[in-house]
Amino acid sequence: MHKYEKLWLSVGTASLALFLIILIITGLHNGHKPAASGRAYVNSDKVEQIEPFNKPGLHKVYGKDYDYELVIVASAFNYQPGKIEIPKGSKVKIIATSKDTLHGFSLPGTNVNMMLEPGHISEYSKTFNHKGEYLIICNEYCGVGHADMKSMIKVVD
Ligand code: CUA
């Protein structure tokens, strides 16, 4: 019995130490990481100054496995840019974040359904093969204007 107790005590201590080490490493990592390079985190207070969110909109890219980046900044209760036109057949990488609170970015009838958390960058790639209009809706409750938080993607020839 005594042996097992000792064993469990050391396992417990080791896990605790490991946990603390992970916490410290994660803390240091976040603190020192330049916000824009990793594309996983972004300082939500300075979204407008940080690439790519300083230029919301559709941007042609070259040498990647997609044709455009669509940069979206959500805030209560709208999306930037307001109007989006995408040439039919384009593969688009949607890169989005929120400036204030939790929002959604959903295109009903498609697979696009993201949560936009302040401080985090959400990404999703989609090829728009069909001409038409896609409604963008916020599907996370975000306050009094939630129900009106909508936008539109127009896929054009
Ligand atoms: Cu934004 Cu609900």
Q: Residues 55-73: pLDDT tens digits?
A: 999 999 999 999 999 999 9
Contact 72, 92 (CB under 8 A): no
Residue nearest to atom 1 of ligand 1 (CA): 103
Query: How many whole angstroms from 84 Cα to the centroid of ligand 1?
Result: 19
> By CB neighbour count within 10 A (0-12 exposed, 13-18 middle, 19+ buried), where does 105 fall?
buried
pLDDT at 15: 73
pLDDT at 36: 43
Query: How many whole angstroms from 144 Cα to the centroid of ligand 1?
Result: 9
Query: How many whole angstroms from 67 Cα to the centroid of ligand 1?
Result: 28
Q: Which atom of ligand 1 is nearest to the CA of 149?
A: 1
Q: DSSP H helical segments within 33-147, as ranges?
A: 35-38
Q: Phi first, then psi: what are they for 19, rounded to 5°?
A: -60, -45
Residues 101-127 have pLDDT tens digits of 999 999 999 999 999 999 999 999 999
Query: How many whole angstroms from 21 Cα to the centroid of ligand 1?
Result: 37
Q: Per the structure block, which two tokens stand in for 29?
A: 């990592």
CATH topology of domain 44-156: Immunoglobulin-like (2.60.40)
Contact 12, 19 (CB under 8 A): no
pLDDT at 10: 74
The domain segmentation of the chain, as residue ranges, is 2-32, 44-156
Flag residues of the chain having pLDDT under 70.
1, 11, 16-39
Residues with CB under 6 A from ligand 1: 77, 103, 138, 140-142, 146, 149
The Cα angle at residue 53 between residues 51 and 54, in degrees rounded to 5: 75
